Structure 1
Amino acid sequence: MASRICDSVLVTGSNRGIGLELVRQLVDSPTPPVQIFAGCRDPNGQRSQDLQELAQKHRDVITVVQLDTTSPTSIAEASKLVETKLKGKGLNLIINNAGVNIPGSLAETGKQEMVDVYTTNVVGPMLIAKDFHPLLCKAAAQFPHQTSMSCSRSAIINVSTLLSSITTCPENFSVSPMYPYRVSKAALNMLTRCLAEDLKKDGILVMSLHPGWVQTEMGGPKAPLTTAESISGMMKVITSLTEKDTGTLLDWEGKNIPW
C-alpha cells in the first residue's frame, strides 16, 4: 500500500484552479490524508460550488474552512477551527496556494496594485505560518525520535512561480512584465528562506514550489499544463521532500529554480 502523504493538510485558495485540484488529488490518492482542510474566502459563494460538491462527496475527510488570507481575524478563526477539528493532534502540512495576479507593465502599475498583490501573496502566507505555527510544532513533536524533515511530519509549502526568479528575469520579462506578481513572489521566496531558517529548530520543513504555467483562470487557456498534470507532478515532489529541500525553490518536476 502507498504511504500516506500526511495525516492532515490545509490548502488555502482551494475553491478553484490549482487549489481545487490539490484537494481533489489528495482525497483521491491511494492513501488520502485523514483530514483535509480546504480554505477559501467565500465557502458559500458561486465560485466555491465545485469545492462544496467535492466536500459533500468526502464528508469524512474534507472540511471546508472560511479563510480570507488578507484578514488576520479570518486566519485566527480558521486556526481555532482547525485546532478543534484535530482534537489534540497537530497539523502536518500547509500548502499556501492562495494568490492573486494583477498583470501590469510599469506604466500600468500603481501603489494600490503593488500593495494589494503583496498583501495576498506575501503577508497572507506569513500570517498563516504565524497563526498555525503551534499546530505545526505539535505535529513535529509527535515524532520525538525522528530528526529528519518531511511533509508527513510537519511542513509549509508556499506556491511560488518561475517568474519570481531574479536570475531568470531577463529570459522572460518581455513576455510577462507583471510587476506586482513578480515582485510579490520574489518576496514570498525570501519569506520561505526566513521561515526555513527560523522553523528548522522545530523540525518544520519550509520550501517554495512552482506549479508550472497551468491552464487556470490565472494562467489562461494558452498555458501548456493542465491542472491535473501540474498537481500530479507536485504531489510526487511533495511526497519526496526531505530536510535537504528546506529553504529551496523547486518546480513541479522537482527541478531547482535559481533565486
Structure 2
Amino acid sequence: MNIVITGANRGIGLELVRQYLARGDSIHAGVRTPERAGELAALAESSRGRLRITACDVALETSVRALAASVSEPVELLINNAGVRSRERADGVEELDLADATRTFEVNALGPLRVTGALLPLLRRSRGAKIANISSGLGSIDNTSGGAYGYRMSKAALNMASRSLAQDLRDEGIVTVVLSPGWVRTDMGGSDAPTPVTESAAGLIGVIDRLTPRDSGGFFDFRGERIPW
C-alpha cells in the first residue's frame, strides 16, 4: 500500500511509519524539519527505498504543494497526523492566548484540508482510497471538563471538515474518517498517559484496515469504538 503520513517524525506518526514499514508498505513521510528527524531518517536508510522523507509544514501552502509534487504514485491512504498542542498556561478564558489559538487552528484544522486538497488527484487515482484525520476526544462536543480552548476548538473544526469531506467524496469511493489515538505516552501526551504509543498505533492501523464505505464520516477511537460528536 502507498501511504502518505504527515507529522511522521515523532510520537504516533513515527510509530505508524515503523509499523507500516514492518508489514511491507511504502510511505511518503511529511515532516516540518527533516534535519531533526533522526529516528525517521534511520528508518529510511533501512527501508530499501520504501520510506521517503519530504519537508512539509502543513500551515504553508507552498510546503504542502511541494509534498504533493514529490509523490508520483496513486495514494491509497492519507493519514493527516501533523498537529500541535496549544501552549495555554491556564484553562480560563481570561488567560486565553488568541494568537496561539489561531496558530493551533491553522495547523490542526486547516492543515489537513491543505494536504487533502493537494493530494486529492493522487487519491482519486487509487481505487477505494482512505483519508484518516487524527483528531482527539477533546474535540468532541461531549465536553464535561472545559478548558483547552484552542486545542479543543481546532480538533472540533477538524471533525466538521472530515464530515464534509466524507459527504463530498462519498460518490468517488473515498472513505474519510476521524480517529482518536487516545491519551498516548508521547512528548505531547506526557509520561502519565495510560496508552503506549505502540498500542495506539497498532489499534489505529487495525481500524483503518477495517474501514468500509459505510464508515465514512465516522469518529472512532483506536479500538474501533465510535466517539460522540
Normalising by the residue count of structure 2, what TM-score does the alignment of the two structures yield? Answer: 0.96
- In the alignment, the residues of structure 1 paired with residue 54 and residue 3 of structure 2 have an alpha-carbon distance, to the nearest angstrom, of 12
1:50 matched residue in structure 2: 39
The answer to whether the 8 A contact 2:17-2:27 is kept is yes
1:26 matched residue in structure 2: 20
Question: Which amino acid letter does the alignment assign opposite residue 174 of structure 2?
Answer: I
- In the alignment, the residues of structure 2 paired with residue 210 and residue 91 of structure 1 have an alpha-carbon distance, to the nearest angstrom, of 22
- In the alignment, the residues of structure 2 paired with residue 115 and residue 130 of structure 1 have an alpha-carbon distance, to the nearest angstrom, of 21
Q: Among 132, 145, 164, which residue is 2:119 paired with? A: 132
Residues 152-172 of structure 1: CA deviation (Å, up to 9, x unaligned): x301100011111102x01x3
- In the alignment, the residues of structure 2 paired with residue 229 and residue 82 of structure 1 have an alpha-carbon distance, to the nearest angstrom, of 29
2:65 matched residue in structure 1: 76
Q: Among 79, 97, 109, which residue is 1:122 paired with? A: 109
- In the alignment, the residues of structure 1 paired with residue 188 and residue 48 of structure 2 have an alpha-carbon distance, to the nearest angstrom, of 29
Count of aligned pairs between the two proteins: 226
Residues 165-184 of structure 1: CA deviation (Å, up to 9, x unaligned): 102x01x33xxx21100000
- In the alignment, the residues of structure 2 paired with residue 100 and residue 64 of structure 1 have an alpha-carbon distance, to the nearest angstrom, of 20
- In the alignment, the residues of structure 1 paired with residue 156 and residue 179 of structure 2 have an alpha-carbon distance, to the nearest angstrom, of 12
- In the alignment, the residues of structure 2 paired with residue 244 and residue 81 of structure 1 have an alpha-carbon distance, to the nearest angstrom, of 32
- In the alignment, the residues of structure 1 paired with residue 181 and residue 149 of structure 2 have an alpha-carbon distance, to the nearest angstrom, of 20
Identity %: 39
2:31 matched residue in structure 1: 40
1:96 matched residue in structure 2: 80
1:156 matched residue in structure 2: 131
SS of the residue aligned with 1:107? helix
- In the alignment, the residues of structure 1 paired with residue 10 and residue 50 of structure 2 have an alpha-carbon distance, to the nearest angstrom, of 18
Q: Write out aligned runs for 1:1-259 (5 A).
A: 7-29=1-23, 32-33=24-25, 35-45=26-36, 48-83=37-72, 86=73, 90-104=74-88, 105=91, 106-140=93-127, 153-167=128-142, 169-170=143-144, 172-173=145-146, 177-259=147-229
- In the alignment, the residues of structure 1 paired with residue 218 and residue 38 of structure 2 have an alpha-carbon distance, to the nearest angstrom, of 35
Q: Which sections of structure 1, spanning at least 5 residues, go unmatched? A: 1-6, 141-152
SS of the residue aligned with 1:213? coil
Question: Which amino acid letter does the alignment assign opposite residue 62 of structure 2?
Answer: T
Residues 183-209 of structure 1: CA deviation (Å, up to 9, x unaligned): 000000000000000111211100000
- In the alignment, the residues of structure 2 paired with residue 103 and residue 230 of structure 1 have an alpha-carbon distance, to the nearest angstrom, of 24
The answer to whether the 8 A contact 2:170-2:213 is kept is no
Per the TM alignment, residue 103 of structure 1 is displaced from its structure 2 partner at its CA by 4.7
Per the TM alignment, residue 27 of structure 1 is displaced from its structure 2 partner at its CA by 0.5
* Misfit runs of 4+, over 3 Å: none
Per the TM alignment, residue 44 of structure 1 is displaced from its structure 2 partner at its CA by 1.5
Question: Which amino acid letter does the alignment assign opposite residue 40 of structure 1?
Answer: V
- In the alignment, the residues of structure 1 paired with residue 49 and residue 68 of structure 2 have an alpha-carbon distance, to the nearest angstrom, of 19
Normalising by the residue count of structure 1, what TM-score does the alignment of the two structures yield? Answer: 0.85
Residues 73-105 of structure 1: CA deviation (Å, up to 9, x unaligned): 01111101112xx2xxx1111000000011532
Question: Which amino acid letter does the alignment assign opposite residue 179 of structure 1?
Answer: Y
